[in-house]
């Protein structure tokens, strides 16, 4: 029963929709809404009620955009959902446009932009399954027609509208003013307008004026010019690279000259220096058709004089040193000259230059500095420009480092248990300041260090080896300047009590200092400095640490005796030492035997005790 009711309702709805559809597609004037949505499907103009209409049909997705066959209109499909009809040709009349998608279709009359199928249950525009347009085309009659069989008037074009028609052609006889009718002066030079005056063209033969009639003419100018060779630029193999010339303008006016593709202006009574590839040069004055001026290649090489002077510091030796001069030929340096030079000698070289301001750059190196501890070249690089001119000076300095150690002993003879004093002082006798100066003293095997002292607290002494023979190492705080003296070091030692008589306490010290080379890389000698202090059985300067100088002091000695000790006072350094003799051991002889002195000694001792006791009694009041 329910199925029949639903079927009845469906039939009623379908009938109503078809009725509405018939109203809309059957008569455009009956359309009351645009679009009208209809459930179901329709896919032809006949089904839509227009069996005689022309139909354009497109399938799934709405088909492609573009002009439809026959050129009736243009279709634009957007995202397979929207249809827009544009560029409708004259004579096209639409009956209806139907867009189907999902379970229904929309009927449009007239067509509008972005026509779609009915919204689906989700409220979205579904993709087009198909759509079609039903229309009629009645082409309009043309305004004119060249077909004589029709009643339409022929299409007549006037010459004014199209002058290119054959019947519109005008001859030069009819209109000689036409551009194509113009006759050039080359074709007919006898025409009045073709006459050329001397003002128009003064170069015509009949217009020529002699220099006598008009001496100020350019052609009558007889300028002067001089061209002289200056110098030539050569490469490291002596081949010519460029040639320089001096061009002089002795005239009263500025002139422009040119040569080999180059040119320059030269003021009156002035000169210009110019270059050319060579060989030689040919110069002409711009605007002058007369002579040219030439010069052969220069004989002189563009060069500058450089004086190299050798200065040696810290020695009087006669070593020879090797100097190398190299020219920069980018990106490398090429050797130009190598020579030997000695102390106080000056070597003069003429080195190639460029002749102009660009210059050649040279590097000067001392490739064999001999035994010098440091060397420098000032300046180490020069750039030579121009030719001749002021001499360039280069000074090569070789510096030698040296040091001397002076050691003195306080006594030349001692007895067991005595104290001895050693004084040490180093002198910088070289040409380089010294740093990290260290003085080592390997004490005699029969003495022990009692104390040490450095003048003005200018350093620190350390007992590196406490076992006899003891090694004392003193490190100085300050840099030792050239011809400077270290502060005095004083070492006090005690002679062993059991030392054998006639033992010679022989002692020697060593000094090491590191010279300061401005060109030496910082930190390069740290390892040598760190390893310089070590216990030694005998002091030696060999091997000398890298970057250092060394000296052993003269050996000083003291003889162990049983009688006297001779001390030497060194004073402040200069002058003659004074000697003091101290009596030791036996008392002087008095005629009495040693046995008779015992009672006497005891008596004296007792009297001394009694006197002491009496002096400690309290005073009575």
Show which of 399, 417, 451 is a domain's final residue. 399
Q: How far apart are CA 145 and CA 364, in angstroms?
A: 102
CA distances, 3 to each of 6, 8, 10, 12, 165 (Å): 5, 9, 11, 14, 82
**What's the token pair of residue 504?**
């010679």
Secondary structure (DSSP) of 447-515: EEEEEEEEGGG-EEEEEEE-SSSPEEEEEE-S-B-TT-BPPPEEEEEEE-TTPPTT-EEEEEEEEEEEE
Peptide bond into 331 cis (omega under 30): yes
Based on the domain organization, do 424 and 552 belong to the same domain?
yes
Q: What is the 3-state secondary structure (H, E, C) of 104-119?
A: EEEEECCCCCCECCCC
Residue of 319, 304, 305 lying closest to 366 (CA atoms): 319
Q: Of 85-94, 387-396, 573-582, where does mean pLDDT reach its minimum?
A: 573-582
442 Cα distance to chain centroid: 56
Position 521 in a domain: yes
- 72: containing domain: 2-137
Q: How far apart are CA 377 and CA 428, in angstroms?
A: 24
Instruction: Check if the beta carbon of residue 407 is closer than 8 Å to that of residue 553.
Output: yes
Position 432 in a domain: yes
CATH code (residue 384): 2.60.40.3050
Mean pLDDT of 489-500: 96
Residue of 263, 266, 256, 260 lying closest to 280 (CA atoms): 260
Based on the domain organization, do 438 and 576 belong to the same domain?
yes
Position 375 in a domain: yes
Based on the domain organization, do 339 and 467 belong to the same domain?
no
Q: What is the pLDDT of residues 203-237, one digit of tens each?
A: 777 787 777 777 777 667 788 899 999 999 999 99
Q: With residue 602 as reference, give the H or E element that holds it.
A: helix 597-616
What pLDDT is attached to residue 574?
34
Based on the domain organization, do 386 and 433 belong to the same domain?
no
Based on the domain organization, do 7 and 40 belong to the same domain?
yes
Res. 541: pLDDT tops 50: yes
Q: Of 428-442, 497-511, 547-561, 563-577, where does mean pLDDT reach its minimum?
A: 563-577
What pLDDT is attached to residue 346?
95
Q: What is the pLDDT of residues 253-286, one digit of tens each?
A: 899 999 988 999 999 999 999 999 989 999 999 9
Based on the domain organization, do 362 and 411 belong to the same domain?
no
Based on the domain organization, do 13 and 73 belong to the same domain?
yes
Position 208 in a domain: no
Q: How far apart are CA 541 and CA 520, in angstroms?
A: 22
What pLDDT is attached to residue 39?
93
Based on the domain organization, do 407 and 395 belong to the same domain?
no
Q: How far apart are CA 149 and CA 168, in angstroms?
A: 27
**What's the token pair of residue 574?**
């200069």
CA distances, 200 to each of 192, 203, 204, 215 (Å): 15, 9, 9, 21
Burial-class residue 230 by CB neighbours within 10 Å (0-12, 13-18, 19+).
middle
What pLDDT is attached to residue 613?
54
Res. 154: pLDDT tops 80: no
CB atoms within 10 A of CB 621: 3
Burial-class residue 513 by CB neighbours within 10 Å (0-12, 13-18, 19+).
buried
Percent of the chain with pLDDT over 70: 82
Looking at per-residue pLDDT, the higher value among 2 and 76 belongs to 76
CATH code (residue 494): 2.60.40.1510
CB atoms within 10 A of CB 6: 9
Residue of 461, 443, 450 lying closest to 507 (CA atoms): 443
CB atoms within 10 A of CB 443: 22
Position 187 in a domain: no
Q: How far apart are CA 267 and CA 249, in angstroms?
A: 7
Looking at per-residue pLDDT, the higher value among 424 and 538 belongs to 424
Based on the domain organization, do 538 and 556 belong to the same domain?
yes
403 Cα distance to chain centroid: 44
What pLDDT is attached to residue 526?
57
Position 166 in a domain: no
Show which of 351, 369, 399 is a domain's final residue. 399
Place of tokens 């004037």: 29
Mean pLDDT of 56-78: 92
Q: How far apart are CA 508 and CA 27, in angstroms?
A: 140
Q: How far apart are CA 407 and CA 542, in angstroms?
A: 20
Percent of the chain with pLDDT over 90: 58
Res. 124: pLDDT tops 90: yes
Res. 250: pLDDT tops 50: yes
How many domains are there within the chain?
A: 4
CB atoms within 10 A of CB 403: 21
What pLDDT is attached to residue 356?
86
Q: Which long-range contacts (CB under 8 A, 24 or more apart) does 29-35 make?
A: 31/109, 34/108, 34/109, 34/110, 34/112, 35/99, 35/106, 35/107, 35/108, 35/115
Based on the domain organization, do 413 and 386 belong to the same domain?
no
Res. 31: pLDDT tops 80: no
Mean pLDDT of 591-606: 45
Show which of 354, 372, 399 is a domain's final residue. 399
Residue of 400, 331, 328 lying closest to 369 (CA atoms): 400
Position 588 in a domain: no
Half-sphere exposure of 472 (CA within 13 A, CB side): 27
Instruction: Tell me what the pLDDT averaged over the chain comes to.
Output: 82
DSSP alpha helices (H): ranges in 153-285? none
Q: How far apart are CA 46 and CA 43, in angstroms?
A: 9
Position 220 in a domain: no
Query: Which residues touch 336 (CB under 8 Å, ≥6 apart)?
Result: 236, 325, 326, 327, 351, 352, 362
Q: What is the pLDDT of residues 418-461, one digit of tens each?
A: 999 999 999 999 999 999 999 999 999 999 999 999 999 999 99
Based on the domain organization, do 478 and 494 belong to the same domain?
yes
Based on the domain organization, do 424 and 393 belong to the same domain?
no
What pLDDT is attached to residue 153?
76
């Amino acid at each position: 029963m329910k199925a029949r009711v639903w079927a009845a309702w469906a039939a009623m709805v379908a009938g109503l929709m078809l009725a509405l559809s018939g109203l809309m597609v059957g008569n455009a004037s009956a359309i009351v809404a645009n679009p009208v949505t209809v459930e179901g499907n329709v896919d032809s103009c006949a089904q839509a009620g227009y069996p005689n209409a022309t139909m354009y049909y497109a399938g799934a997705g709405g088909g492609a955009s573009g002009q439809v066959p026959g050129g009736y209109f243009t279709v634009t499909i957007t995202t397979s959902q929207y249809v827009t009809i544009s560029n409708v040709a004259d004579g096209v009349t639409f009956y209806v446009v139907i867009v189907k998608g999902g379970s229904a279709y929309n009927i449009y009359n007239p067509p509008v932009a972005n026509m779609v199928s009915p919204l689906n249950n989700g409220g979205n525009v579904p993709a087009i399954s198909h759509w079609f347009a039903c229309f009629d085309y009645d082409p309009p009659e043309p305004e004119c027609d060249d077909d004589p069989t029709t009643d339409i008037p022929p299409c007549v074009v006037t010459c004014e509208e199209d002058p290119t028609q054959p019947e519109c052609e005008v001859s030069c006889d009819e209109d000689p003013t036409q551009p194509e009718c113009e006759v050039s002066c080359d074709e007919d030079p006898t025409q009045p307008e073709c006459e050329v005056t001397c003002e128009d063209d003064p170069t015509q033969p009949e217009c020529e004026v002699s220099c006598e009639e008009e001496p100020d003419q350019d052609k009558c100018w007889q300028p002067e010019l001089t061209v002289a060779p200056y110098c030539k630029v050569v490469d490291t193999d002596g081949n010519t690279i460029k040639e320089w010339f001096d061009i002089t303008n002795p005239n009263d006016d500025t002139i422009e000259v040119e040569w080999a593709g180059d040119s320059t202006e030269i003021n009156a009574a002035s000169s210009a220096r110019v270059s050319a590839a060579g060989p030689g040069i040919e110069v002409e004055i711009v605007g002058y058709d007369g002579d040219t001026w030439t010069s052969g290649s220069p004989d002189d090489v563009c060069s500058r004089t450089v004086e190299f002077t050798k200065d040696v510091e810290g020695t009087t030796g006669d070593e020879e040193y090797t100097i190398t001069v190299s020219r920069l030929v980018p990106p490398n340096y090429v050797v130009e000259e190598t020579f030997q030079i000695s102390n106080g000698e000056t070597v003069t070289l003429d080195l190639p230059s460029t002749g102009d301001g660009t210059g050649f750059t040279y590097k000067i190196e001392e490739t064999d500095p001999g035994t010098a501890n440091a060397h420098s070249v000032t300046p180490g690089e020069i750039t030579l420009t121009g030719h001749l001119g002021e001499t360039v000076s280069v000074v090569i300095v070789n510096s030698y480092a040296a040091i001397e150690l002076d050691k003195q002993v306080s006594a030349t003879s001692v007895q067991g248990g005595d104290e001895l004093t050693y004084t040490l002082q180093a002198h910088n006798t070289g040409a380089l300041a010294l740093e990290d100066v260290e003085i080592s003293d390997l004490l005699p095997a029969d003495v022990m260090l009692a104390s040490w002292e450095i003048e003005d607290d200018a350093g620190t002494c350390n007992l590196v080896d406490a076992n006899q023979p003891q090694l004392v190492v003193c490190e100085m705080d300050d840099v030792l300047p050239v011809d400077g003296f270290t502060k005095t070091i004083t070492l006090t030692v005690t002679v062993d009590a059991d030392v054998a008589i006639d033992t010679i306490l022989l002692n020697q010290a060593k000094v090491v200092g590191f010279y300061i080379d401005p060109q030496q890389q910082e930190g390069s000698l740290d390892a040598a400095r760190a390893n310089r202090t070590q216990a030694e059985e005998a002091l030696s300067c060999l091997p000398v640490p890298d970057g250092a100088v060394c000296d052993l002091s003269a050996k000083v000695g003291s003889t162990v005796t049983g009688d006297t000790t001779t001390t030497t006072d060194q004073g402040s350094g200069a002058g003659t030492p004074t000697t003091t003799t101290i009596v030791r051991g036996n008392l002087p002889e008095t005629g009495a035997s040693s046995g008779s002195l015992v009672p006497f000694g005891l008596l004296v001792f007792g009297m001394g005790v009694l006197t002491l006791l009496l002096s400690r009694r309290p005073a009575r009041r």
